[in-house]
Structure formats: structure tokens, C-alpha cells
Structure 1
């Protein structure tokens, strides 16, 4: 009977240690920061403060851009803005995020595009400054560039 108690106790101890190890294991690497702001210039279409939101799952990444500085000129249906977002990469080739995802927007609503899909590599450091955004809305191409580096800094993957 004593042998069974020791065996059961050892099994319980091993199980507890395994659970503790899982709880203390480091989280999977993810992009940091997850949001950044910058000032955009979109020529005759305006410009101002904009926010980028980043997500990552392995080498797949998404970026969403939103701004209150540029307003919808007309009602825009969901998933109708074709967007290409190029991010400068201080560790290698620029990364390009594309898609036609956008929410439905009424006249004078702030513009939001994304999530736009792209591929990243471990160690990439991406910044909108040196890249840019091109949107095709109602057949009109709108090109936006950043006037300075994003804050609080580059997205690190």
C-alpha cells in the first residue's frame, strides 16, 4: 500500500510540475508594438494623424489603417477599397500588405482599410515612413505617405 502512495504522489507531483511549466512558459513571439501612429499626407485628398494596428501569426501578418483626418467622400460599401500598404523594412526588403477589406462607411465617416494581409520574417522592423499606402476608391487612386517615422516605433516581428 505504501508503494502505491509513493507512486501516486510522484505522479501528482510530476503532473503539477508539468502544469506549472506550461503556465510559466514564455508566450509565442508576436509583433510589438501592436499599434502605432503617424502623420499621413494624401495630396489633394488631405492628411493628418493615422493609426496602424498590427497582428501576427507566424509569418502571416495583418495591418489595419484608420484615420479621422480623411473622410469618405461618398457612401463606401464594405470590402470595396483596393489597398496596397508598403512598409519600409530596416532589416531587408520592404513588406507589402494588400487586400480590399474595409468596413462600410457613410459620407464623412473616417477612412479605415484592412486588415490587409502580408508576410513577415522574424526580426523584420517595419515602419510606414519610407513606404506608403495606395487606395483605389471608385476608380480613383489615392496615394498617402508618412511625413515622419511612426510612433512609438517600428513594428518588430
Structure 2
């Protein structure tokens, strides 16, 4: 009987420690919204609506751009597009998200680049408008500029 009481006490103590650890654990960081859309003009290369998907892990963040309307004129192999997505920061300045990550894309198909990596600070509010997307494919750089603010609004990082 005595060992049952001892084991019950140990179990209750372990449970209390676990709950205390949860109470003091740091909150998960998140960007809001996680998905937004923006319209881009790419000059001779066309343009259209793109979906931007953001994620955050501390001060590291990623953004992936996907568009069925912005297309590639040639077949593109996986991880061969060198891309820089520049986002305008509320209050001034910009933050660049860079990388060479993309799926294989067929001629005439939509464009996907990312996840592109960047560094953010808590409270950063970033919008595609007044920024741009540069993609270098086979040595040719295509620059796309956002035609207006992203919808539903800027990405705000924790």
C-alpha cells in the first residue's frame, strides 16, 4: 500500500512538472496571413496573379511564389531558377528572400519558386507592392513588379 502511495505521488509530481514546463514554453511564432495574392507585371514576359505563401521560424522566414498566370516559355529543370523576391517593409526599406528552389516546370506552364529564405524581425510588416520578383533562368533575368498591394494584406511576422 505504501508503494502505491509513493508511485501516485511521483506520478502527480511528474504531471505538475510537465504542466509547468508547458506554461513557460515559448509560444510558436507565426506569420499572418500565411497566404496572400499579388498581381505582377513581367514586361515582355507577361504577368498575372501569384499566390505568396509565407512561413516563419524565429527570425528565419520563407516565401514561396506560385502562379498559373505567370508562365515559363521553356522547360526548366528542378532547382535551376535563381530567384530574389523583394518585399517592401512598412515604415521603409525592403527585405529580400532569395534561393534557387523550384520544381521542374514545362514550357507554357505556371511558375513556382521557393521556398525563398529571408530574415525578419518581430513586427515586420511586408508587402509585395513596391517590391519585385527577379528570376534568372538560363542567364536571362526576368523582373516582375507588383501592380498593387497584396490581398488580404501584408505579411506580419511575430
TM-score bracket for the superposition, by shorter chain length: 0.7 to 0.9
- State yes or no: 1:42 paired with 2:33: no
User: Quick one: distance in 2 between partners of 1:93 and 1:71?
Assistant: 29
Conserved 8 A contact 1:102-1:113: yes
SS of structure 2 residue aligned to 1:111: strand
Please report the TM-score for the alignment, with normalisation by the length of structure 2.
0.87
Flag structure 1 segments of 5+ consecutive residues without an equivalent. none
Q: CA RMSD in A?
A: 2.1
Q: Give the TM-score normalised by the residue count of structure 1.
A: 0.87
Q: Mean Cα displacement is larger for which, 92-101 or 46-55?
A: 92-101
Give runs of aligned pairs for residues 4-153 of structure 1, distance below 5 A.
6-21=5-20, 27-91=27-91, 93-153=93-153
Would the aligned equivalents of 2:50 and 2:70 in 1 still touch at CA under 8 Å?
no
Report the alpha carbon displacement of residue 39 of structure 1 after superposing the two structures with TM: 1.0
Residues 109 and 21 (structure 1), Cα distance of their counterparts in 2 relative to 1, 3 Å cut: farther
Q: Deviations over 1:79-137 (max 9, x none)?
A: 11111110111155311111111111111111111111111111111111111111112
Instruction: Give the unaligned 5+ runs of structure 2.
Output: none
